[in-house]
Amino acid sequence: MVAEQFVQSPCVAVIGHWDSETALAARPVYEQAQMVFIAPVATNPQVTRGAKTVFTMMYNDHWQGAVIASYVT
């Protein structure tokens, strides 16, 4: 897994694993290493829930769903 390669490298933080699926798979690896991980466009709230070193830059699915539902009604 790429996340394991980053953890073994001199890298101190990771910006990547763009979507929620890959971010969710990589999260435990980075958390165990206590490495900062930013998943820029991941929207699943589980990507960051309870995490101390995992961040996203997008609104999560719950917020976006409410806004879209409000717009279409």
pLDDT digits (tens, 9 = 90+) for 10-57: 999 999 887 899 999 999 999 999 999 999 989 898 999 999 999 988
Q: How confident is the model at residue 61 (pLDDT cuts 50, 70, 90)?
A: low
Identity of the amino acid at 32:
Q
pTM for this structure? 0.77
Residues with Cβ within 8 Å of residue 28, at least 6 apart in sequence: none
